[in-house]
Structures are given as C-alpha cells and as structure tokens.
Amino acid sequence: LFVAAHDSTDTMLSNALYHQKVLQSRPAISPVVPVRLRRRPLVCRNASAGVSIVGTQPPASNGPASQPEEKLNTWQRWCKWWQLESPENVANSDSDADSLKTSKFLPLFSKLAQLIAPDKKMLSAACVFMVCAAMSELAIPHFATKAIFSAAGPGVTHATFEPTLKLLTGLICFYGFMSAARGYCFSILNNRMTMRLRAQLFANLVRREAAFFDGSEVGTLTSRLQADCQAVTKCVATNLNIAFRNMLQAVGGVVYLAMLSPSICMATLGVCILLWGITLFYGEVARRTQKVYQDTLAASNQVAEEVLSLSRVVRTFGTEGNEEGRYKSWLERMYSVGLRQATGYGMFVASGYIVSYMTKVVALALGCVSIMHGTMTAEQLTNFIFYVEFVTYASLSACDEVVEVMEAVGASERVLELLAAPPADQVAAGTTLPSFSGKVEFRDVSFRYPTRPNHKALDHVNLTLPAGKLVALVGLSGSGKTTLVALLGRLYDPNEGSILVDDTDLRSLDASWFRRHIGVVSQEPRLFGMSVRDNIAYGTPDATQADIEAAARDANAHDFITQLPKGYDTVVTDKLLSGGQKQ
C-alpha cells in the first residue's frame, strides 16, 4: 500500500504509512514495480500544531519554479518577527487578528464584577485597608525628612527629634498592619473568585452540545479551566490591587510636590506622562502575546494529555520519538512566544527606568537652581527628591501592574468566549410521558455531523424498534450504527425526519427525564475515579446497595468485585480492571 502525499494534503494517513512499512519488510508475494520516492518534510496545514512531519513525496515535476521570497530589510524582519498567530486559529488567522484588535476591557471587568459581587463587604474592607496603607506609606518620606533636619539644626537635643522618630515608628508599624490586612483580604477574594469562575466555566462546558466536544480537545479545555481562570482572577487579587495602591500614592505624591514647588512639579509630571504612554503601547503588545501564549500552552497540554492517555498505542507503534518531537515542537513554540514577551518586557523596563531616573535628574537640577536663587531651602529640596523618588517608583510599579492587567485581558478572551456560549437546547425542560414502554421509530431520518457537514452519516433511514425486544444493528464500519445510538440518546438532533418514542417526537421530551430511562455500555468504557459502587449506580442516585449488587450479579461482575481490595468501595483506576471487567 503506497500513499502519495502532496503539498495540498490535509490529513496524514499514519496507519497506511505504518502498514506500508510492515509490508515492505515481508517477502514479496508478487513482483512490485519500484517507485522512486523522495523524502521531504510536509506541513499539515490544518493541524493545530503546525508541526513539520516527514513523509513520502514524489519527485518534483518539471513545472515552473516557485517565486523566491521577497527580501526584507532589517526593520521589516523585525516587524514580521513580532507577528504571532494563535495555534487554534491558524486556518482563520484573519478573524483571529480582528479579535485581537477589537478586544475590550469591559467584558473582563464586567465578569470580574459578577464574580466578586457576593463578597462586597470583604472587598470594601480590603479597599479601606489599601487606602490606609497607601496614605501611611505616603507620609513616611515627609516625617523621615523632618527627623533628619531636626537632628541637623543648631541646639539639637533628644527632645527635638525624639517625637518625630516615635511618630515615624508608629506610622511604619501602622503601615505594616494595614498592608498585611489588605493582602489577606485580596488573597481570600482571589481564591473565592477562582473557585466561582472555574465552577461557572465547568457548568457551562458540561451543558454544551455534543458537537462542541467533537471540535474541542480535552487537554485544551482543562487548560482553560486551570491556567486561564487563574490568570483572570489574579487580575483583581494582585494586579488591580497593587495598581490602584500605586496610583493612589502617585497622585498623592504629585499633590504634595505641587504644594512644595508647582513649576518643578509640572516638569516632573510631564516625564511621568511619557512613562504612561510607553506603558499603554507595551501593554497592547503584552496582551496579544499573552493570548497567543495561553493558546499555545493549551495546545501543548492537549498533546501531553493524549499521548499519556494513549501510552499503550504509542508503545505498540513504537512512536515514542515522534511524540517527543511533537511535544518538543510545542515547547519550542512556547519558548518563541516567551522570547518575544521577554524582549518586549526588557525594552519596557529599560525605557521605564531611563525615564524614571531622568525625572529625578530633572527635579534635582531644577531644585539646585531654586536653592541658588533662594526660592527653596535644602530641607524642601530633600523632601522634594524623596517624593520624586516615591512618585516615579509608584508610577513605574503601577505601569507594570497595568501591563499585567492587559495580559489578563488576553488570557481571558478564550474563557469569556466559552462562558458566553449558550448551553445546549436539549437541557431545557420538556414534556414527560405518564407511561413509558420503549417503542422507538426512526422516520425518514437524515443526519450530518456538524464537524462534517458535507458527509451524510444517515440518509432517509426508516427503522422501528419494538418495545421489549432485543435488537442488533449490523453493518459495515461507518454505516451509521453509532450515529443511530447517538441520535436516540439525543446527543444530536436529526437534520431531517424525526425520532418517535412511544409515538411522541423525541425533541419534545424532557431530555434529562428521557435519558434516565437509558443504560449505555460502550465498546471502550471510561470509568470515573470513584468507587465501584458509585460507577454502577451512576445516573441512578436512588439505587440501594441491594439494587447495585443485583445489577452486578446480572452482569456476572459480583464475583470479581468482591475480590477487589475493598469490594464495592474500591476506587476505580485505569490499571485496576481489564477491558471486559470495565464493560
């Protein structure tokens, strides 16, 4: 079996290539015409990872040569280096780019307000502690300057500067207690918000339609639940908390500077405005790179999850090296995004520190000129330099936290998209039947899977399943047996026709009520990490121990269950039971 893969190939037939290798290693039964194959790396354009895969490629044709890439100058290469694509939307990069440009802060802050609403009292207390801590810290440089110059004046005694030192000591202790209380309250808020956000997202996911899970990977969704939710809620507990505190201190410091010397304060304030402009520019870059980083992290988690869960398949095919390379390629892509983050952050820090220290130089120069003209004393200049240092540090820290907030906006986009999606219509309550016999009729049913809209899985199927009868569906692979069962369980609704249960359209029934009348044993069952008892009674919360044991005996499972370490209380793991025992 030879498979010729061309540049336009969208799907790699790994099983076919594997059997090709096996067949070539066996003695030939009939003469085989040799075909010269040239190995060349292929790129799966629709694969989320975009990883180069080595496959067989026919010799190149004698057609026209491809046009050489346009040469770029240094600036163009630098700009292109910053262009990033989200791995989940490689095929739709244009729409993804639009979403990056049109992202707003409002959806994130609106969601954060909903999450924090039940803890308004604690939030109010945290804000009070934050204001007290900020104001007390703001007053420390003033009293420190007074203590220095009270000790340096003529006729100095302990009585002249001792009260100032006591006041300064008390102020520092008060600041420490207020900071501790502020940190405690915001940490509690962070934990509660993370819990609520994950609970809401999980509740939304488990109620999504089956088609959503057909196009989503488990590893990606778990990454949204874990890493992305934590990044979103950290925005309040750490970033906004520290940003507001520093902004408050910066504003208070500017007011104090204006009282000391309005002219020097305006010059200092102009440099601070430049610092905020740099922050806003870098913040947009940080938001975009963080969004791509979170998507890349989710994709790498998906690769790790599927390889570890399919470890036996990987070992059977001997593809450990390939999977290592696939995962490493994702790590390299994460490193590439992280390199851009580090480069941007380095440029931001360098420009921020240069601007902040230039602010001090400007203030010192203007202050020295004022002293020479007799418009400012040495104590006032010292006080001024202290507060210039205070304002620039607070502004720089606030800018750093604003960047973190913008990164949280990037991380929140996928989470907010998942939360905004409505649950499946099937979850909504419908009618119930007073009596239920179990007669099923498929009447002219046609169906296409949402992920394969051009392929009909069922085409005008008519089928009647009498109540109380054992029915076997027999057919070739891909003929629609599993699809019929999925439609009967209302995982999907037919595109055409209808399914009748006791002569009632299935779509009009309460889906939860109907599913309680269905038992399912799949070909490859997946058990929950609960006890054997809980797995048997899953979906039947009112089942008694006698009911559970009776069901186990009917399935010829009671004997091996009682031989487990804790019998029916044994917690199920992947390695505990064989495939038949799981069924």
Four-way CATH pick for 426-515: 3.40.50.300, 3.20.20.100, 3.30.70.100, 3.40.190.10: 3.40.50.300
For the stretch 432-488, pLDDT in tens is 888 888 889 999 999 988 878 888 888 888 989 998 888 888 888 888 888 898 888
Confidence of residue 31 (pLDDT cuts 50, 70, 90): very low
- The verdict on pTM exceeding 0.75 is no
At the top level of CATH, the class of 103-420 is mainly alpha
- The Cα diameter of the chain in Å comes to 115
Q: Is 17 in contact with 5 (CB distance < 8 Å)?
A: no
Which comes out higher in pLDDT, residue 570 or 417? Answer: 570
Q: Which bin fits 446, alpha (ψ -120 to 50), beta or left (φ > 0)?
A: beta
Residue 550 clears pLDDT 90, i.e. is over it: yes
Q: pLDDT tens digits, residue range 127-146?
A: 999 999 988 888 888 888 87
Alpha carbons 506 and 512: distance in angstroms, whole number: 12
176/92: higher pLDDT: 176
CA distances from 461 to 51, 481, 505 (A): 41, 11, 16
Residue 546 pLDDT grade (very low, low, confident, very high; cuts 50, 70, 90): very high
Distance between CA atoms of 204 and 201, rounded to whole angstroms? 5
- The domain ranges of the chain are 1-59, 103-420, 426-515, 532-582
pLDDT at 232: 78
Closest CA to 221 of 83, 11, 421: 421
Query: Residue range 405-415: average pLDDT?
Result: 73
**What 8-state DSSP symbol labels residue 527?**
-
- Is it the case that residue 97 has pLDDT exceeding 60? no
Ordered DSSP codes for 226-243? IIIHHHHHHIIIIIIHHH
Percent residues over pLDDT 90 in the chain:
8
Helices 120-152 and 241-260: crossing angle, nearest 10°?
40
Q: In this structure, are residues 522 and 582 in contact, taking their beta carbons and an 8 Å threshold?
A: no
What whole-number distance in Å separates Cα of residue 458 and Cα of residue 258?
A: 78
What whole-number distance in Å separates Cα of residue 109 and Cα of residue 408?
11
CB 338 within 8 A of CB 307: no
Q: Tokens 């609403």 identify what position?
A: 117
Q: Does pLDDT of 189 surpass 80? A: yes
